[in-house]
DNA sequence: AACCATCAATTATTATTTTTCATGCAATAG
DNA sequence: CTATTGCATGAAAAATAATAATTGATGGTT
C-alpha cells in the first residue's frame, strides 16, 4: 500500500545531516551501496527525484525539502513513542517534557521540579525552550507534554490551570531616582533604558499592559538573555527591567536592586500550566500539576 | 535502531478497527499467520504485550491504546505526504484541506471555492469539519492546511487574516412580535425559544456577546444541525435564531424570515483564515487567502 | 453432548527483500 | 595526470517476511 517507510525518512534526514550518501550510510550502519539502492527505489516509486545529483554531491529537490520537514516532524515522535513504551516495560513511569514560554519562570520551575523528582523517582523531567511553532504548537505536535506560560489558551484539546500568581514590578538599581517611590507611572519611564528578554514586544507585559495603553515608551530598549546579567546591568545603573516581585526579592541579597510597583494598583500576573486533555489521566503528569498547585497555595499564605 | 515501523502502526490500527487479527489480515492483504508473526515479534521487541489474549479475541493493553493513538496521529500524515508528492510528480499542485470552525461560514466558503477551483484547476479542495483537537490543533497537527474561524489566535507559527466582516442578527418568523423593530435587547429574548447549531455555549456569540453580559437567557434552547432546517423552524414560528445578516438576506426569498439588529449598535463579527507560517510561500495556498480578501473588499462596497 | 465455525499459535517451507561485494564511471583535488 | 572520493549498478548471498497446512482453544448451536 504505502510507499514511505520509517527507514526512508531516516535516510532523508541522515543524508541532509551528513551531506553525502556515503557518510549517511556509515551513520545508519549500512553500506553505501545499500543506500543507493533504496534511494533509487524510493524515487522510482514516488515518481520523482528526491535529490539533484550534481557531480558527486546531492542537493535536495523541492520534494526532498518537503520530505525532510516531514521526517523532522515525525521521526522524533516515533522515537518518543518507543522511549515511553520502553520505560513502561521496565516499570518506570515515563518522561515529562516541560516547555517554558516565560523566561523568569525558570527559577520557579526549579522549586517545583526538585520535590517532584523526589516523589516520582521513575519519571524523567526534561525542560525545553525552543519549539518549531512556539508553545502551544509544541503541545499539539507532541514535542512537549506540559507548557509553562503566562498566556493560557482555552481551546478544545488543551487544558490550562493557573499555578502561580505574582506581581510584575520594575527593578531599579541602588542610585536610581525611582528607588523607594511607592509606584511608578508609564510616563516616568520615558527617559529610561528598558532591559528585557529577547522576545517580541507583544509578549512583554510591561509593554502590552503598562506602556502601550498609556502611549508611553522608554528611551532605549536593550535585550539581555539571562536573568543574572539583567540584574547585574540594573544594579550597575545601566537601565531598568520588569520582573516578578518574588524573583527580585529572592535575588536582592546577590544584587543591589529594588522593586517598584508598576502603576498605582500594581501589575498582577498569573502563570499557567497547560497540557493535552488526552493526557489528563496520566498520573505522573497530573501529579505535577497538583504539586504546582500546592506550592501556589503555600505561596498565598505569605502574600497577605 | 528503531523498532516501530509504519507497518506496525498500520497493523495496530487495522486490528482495532476490525477487532481480530484475521479480519485485519484480510484488509492488509496478508494472511493471518503473517500478522501473528509480526505481532509476536513486535511485542517481543517492545518487551510488553500490546493486546491481552482473551480466549480468541484481542483486547488492547494500555500500551496498545497508546500505540493506537500514535498510529491515528501519524499514519494520516504519512498518507498525506505521499498524496502531496504524487500530485507533485504529476504536475498537479497539491491539495488544500480547509477546516471549518463556524457553521454558517459554509455558505460563504462555497462562494470562494468555486472561483478558486477555476483559477487553480490542479488543486484539490477538501473541506473538513471534525478534528481531534479542534481547529488550531488540526492546523498544528497537519490535519488541515487552512482554518476558517471566528476566533483568530496570534501565536508564533500561525498566521490569521481577516477575510470577512459581517453583522450577526436575530432571525424571526413572519408572525413574530419582534419583526420590524429597529433592534432587540437581551431581556426581550427571555420568553423565546432560541435555536442554535450544536456547539458549546462559549462558542455562540449570541450568548457570549449578547445574553450573558446582560444576565439574560432564553426560555428554551433548541439545537439544529443545518441552516435550512433552522430557517424553516424560524419561519414556522417555532423559535428565533442568530445568524449572519448576509445569510438571512440571501435566504429570505426561500424562507419567510427577517433580520433584527442585536442591541442598539448591532453585533459586529469577523471571520479569519488561519494557516501555518511555514506554508506561507505555497503559492496555491496564498492565492486562496488573496481571493478571499478580494471578495472581502467587494463585499465592503455593498456595505455602506 | 456433539458438532461446527472462528480465531490465534505453530511449524516447516517458500518467496521476497535487503545487503553486500565487486566493479565502473564521473567529478574533484593535488 | 593521477589519486581520491562519491554515486550507481548487477549479481550473489544473507536476512527477513509471507504462506500453507495444522493444531489447539473457545464459543455458539442444535
Q: Kindly state whether residue B51 falls inside one of the protein's structural domains.
A: yes
Residue ending a domain, among B85, B119, B145, is: B85
User: Can you tell me the mean pLDDT for A12-27?
Assistant: 92
pTM: 0.83
Closest A-chain CA to B30? A1
Mark whether A175 and A26 lie in a shared domain.
Answer: no
Number of Cβ within 10 Å of residue A292's Cβ equals 24
Phi/psi at A265 (nearest 5 deg)? -100, 5
Q: Does the pLDDT value for residue A240 go beyond 80?
A: yes
Q: B137 at the A interface (CB within 8 A)?
A: yes
Under an 8 A CB cutoff, do A6 and B10 touch? no
Q: For residue A1, tell me if it sits in a domain.
A: no
| pLDDT, mean of residues B43-52 | 90
The answer on B16 and B79 residing in a single domain is: yes
Residue A304 pLDDT level (bands cut at 50, 70, 90): very low
**DSSP letter assigned to residue A129:** -
On the 0-12 / 13-18 / 19+ scale of CB atoms within 10 A, B189 is buried
Cα–Cα distance measured from residue A168 to residue A211, given in angstroms and rounded to the nearest whole number: 13
Between positions 142 and 161 of A, the ones with CB within 8 A of B are: 142, 153, 155-158
Domain end residue (candidates: B85, B102, B119):
B85
The DSSP letter of residue B203 is G
Strands A240-244 and A158-172: antiparallel
Give me the CATH number covering residue A241. Answer: 3.40.190.10
Cα three-residue angle A12-A17-A20, rounded to 5 degrees = 75
For B231, the 3-state DSSP assignment is: helix
Distance (Å, whole) CA A298 – CA A291: 11
Q: Nearest nt to B22, CA vs C1'?
A: C7
A vs B: CB pairs below 8 A: 135
In degrees, to the nearest 5, what angle opens at C-alpha B161 toward C-alphas B250 and B82?
100
Q: Which pLDDT value is given to residue B34?
A: 92
Same domain, B158 and B178: no
The neighbour count for residue A290, using CB atoms within 10 Å, is: 13
Range of weakest confidence among B114-128, B246-260, B289-303: B289-303
Q: Which residue from B252, B257, B246 is spatially nearest to B176, judged by alpha carbons?
A: B257
Q: Using the structure block, give the residue that is written with the C-alpha cell 551501496.
A: A33
Decide if A292 is inside a domain: yes
- Alpha carbon distance B154, B135 (integer Å): 14
Interchain pair A135, B158: CB under 8 A: no
CATH code for the domain in which residue A39 is found: 1.10.10.10
Cell of B127: 473541506
Widest pairwise Cα distance in chain A: 75
Distance CA A104, CA A118 (A): 24
Q: Are A243 and A171 in contact (CB under 8 A)?
A: yes
Give the closest residue to B295 by CA, choosing from B167, B168, B110, B163. Answer: B163
DSSP alpha helices (H): ranges in A174-282? 205, 227-235, 245-251
The owner of cell 482473551 is: B54
Co-location of B47 and B112 in the same domain:
no
A211, part of any domain: yes
Indicate yes or no: strand C within 7 A of the C-beta of B21: yes
C-alpha cell at A60: 535536495
**Residues B102, B76 within the same domain:** no
Q: Last residue of some domain: B29, B64, B85?
A: B85
**Beta carbon of B39 within 7 Å of strand C?**
yes
Residues B169 and B229 in one domain: yes
Q: Cα–Cα distance between A260 and A179 in angstroms, integer?
A: 7
Are A172 and A244 in the same domain? yes
Of all residues in chain A, the percent with pLDDT exceeding 70 is 97
Averaged pLDDT, B57-86:
92
Please tell me whether residues B276 and B156 are part of one structural domain. Answer: yes
Distance of CA B233 to the CA centre of its chain: 24
Element (DSSP H or E) covering residue A105: helix A105-119
Query: Is the CB of residue B281 less than 8 Å away from at least one CB of chain A?
Result: no
Domain count, chain A: 3
A88 contacts B63? CB cut-off 8 A: yes
Provide the pLDDT for residue A300.
Answer: 52
Question: Which three cell numbers mark B46?
Answer: 517492545
Interface test with B, best of A88, A131, A160, A275 (most B CBs within 10 A): A88
Average of per-residue pLDDT across B106-112: 87
At A112 the pLDDT is: 92
Residue B28 included in any domain: yes
Say whether residue B6 is in contact with chain A using an 8 A CB cutoff: yes
Domain containing A26: what range?
6-85
Same domain, B135 and B283: yes
Tell me the per-residue pLDDT of B194-217, one tens digit each, with 9 for 90 and over.
Answer: 999 988 888 888 999 999 999 999
Question: Are A146 and A170 part of one and the same domain?
Answer: no
Is residue A80 in some structural domain? yes
What is the mean pLDDT of the segment spanning B279-295?
92
Residue A301 clears pLDDT 80, i.e. is over it: no
The Cα B279–Cα A133 span in angstroms is 12
The C-alpha atoms of residue B108 and residue B112 are separated, in whole angstroms, by: 7
Residue B45, CA distances (Å) to A62, B38, B77 in order:
36, 10, 25
Give the E-state strand segments of B117-226 in sequence order: 123-128, 146-149, 158-172, 183-184, 193-196, 220-223
Sign of CA dihedral B251, B257, B258, B263: negative
B60: enclosing H helix or E strand: strand B57-60
**B176 in the same domain as B262:** yes
Q: Any CB–CB contact under 8 A between B86 and chain A?
A: yes
- Are residues A80 and A107 both part of a single domain? no
In a domain, A263, yes or no: yes
Q: What percentage of chain B has pLDDT greater than the value 90?
A: 60
3-state secondary structure of B212: helix
The answer to the question of residue A192 being in a domain is yes
Mean pLDDT, range B166-181, rounded to an integer: 93
Amino acid at each position: 500500500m504505502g510507499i514511505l517507510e520509517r527507514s526512508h525518512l531516516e535516510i532523508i534526514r541522515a543524508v541532509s545531516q551528513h551531506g553525502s550518501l556515503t557518510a549517511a550510510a556509515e551513520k545508519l550502519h549500512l553500506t553505501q551501496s545499500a543506500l543507493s539502492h533504496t534511494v533509487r527505489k524510493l524515487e522510482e516509486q514516488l515518481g520523482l527525484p528526491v535529490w539533484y545529483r550534481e557531480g558527486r554531491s546531492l542537493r535536495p529537490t523541492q520534494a526532498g525539502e518537503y520530505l525532510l520537514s516531514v521526517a523532522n516532524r515525525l521521526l522524533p515522535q516515533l522515537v518518543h513513542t518507543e522511549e515511553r513504551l520502553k520505560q513502561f516495560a521496565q516499570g518506570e513511569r515515563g518522561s515529562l517534557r516541560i516547555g517554558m514560554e516565560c523566561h523568569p519562570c525558570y527559577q520557579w520551575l526549579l522549586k517545583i521540579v526538585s520535590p517532584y523528582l523526589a516523589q516520582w523517582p521513575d519519571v524523567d523531567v526534561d525542560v525545553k525552550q525552543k519549539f518549531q511553532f512556539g508553545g502551544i504548537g509544541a503541545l499539539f505536535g507532541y514535542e512537549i507534554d506540559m507548557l509553562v506560560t503566562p498566556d493560557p489558551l482555552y481551546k478544545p484539546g488543551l487544558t490550562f490551570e493557573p499555578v502561580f500568581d505574582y506581581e510584575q514590578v520594575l527593578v531599579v538599581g541602588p542610585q536610581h531616582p525611582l528607588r523607594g517611590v511607592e509606584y511608578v507611572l508609564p510616563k516616568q519611564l520615558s527617559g529610561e533604558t528598558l532591559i528585557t528578554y529577547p522576545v517580541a514586544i507583544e509578549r512583554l507585559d510591561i509593554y502590552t499592559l503598562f506602556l502601550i495603553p498609556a502611549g508611553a515608551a522608554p528611551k532605549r530598549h536593550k535585550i539581555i538573555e539571562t536573568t543574572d546579567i539583567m540584574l547585574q546591568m540594573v544594579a550597575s545603573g545601566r537601565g531598568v527591567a520588569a520582573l516578578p516581585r518574588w524573583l527580585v526579592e529572592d535575588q536582592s541579597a546577590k544584587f543591589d536592586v529594588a522593586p517598584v510597583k508598576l502603576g498605582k494598583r500594581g501589575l498582577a500576573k498569573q502563570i499557567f500550566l497547560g497540557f493535552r486533555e488526552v493526557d489528563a489521566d496520566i498520573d505522573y503528569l497530573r501529579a505535577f500539576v497538583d504539586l504546582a498547585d500546592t506550592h501556589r497555595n503555600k505561596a498565598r499564605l505569605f502574600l497577605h
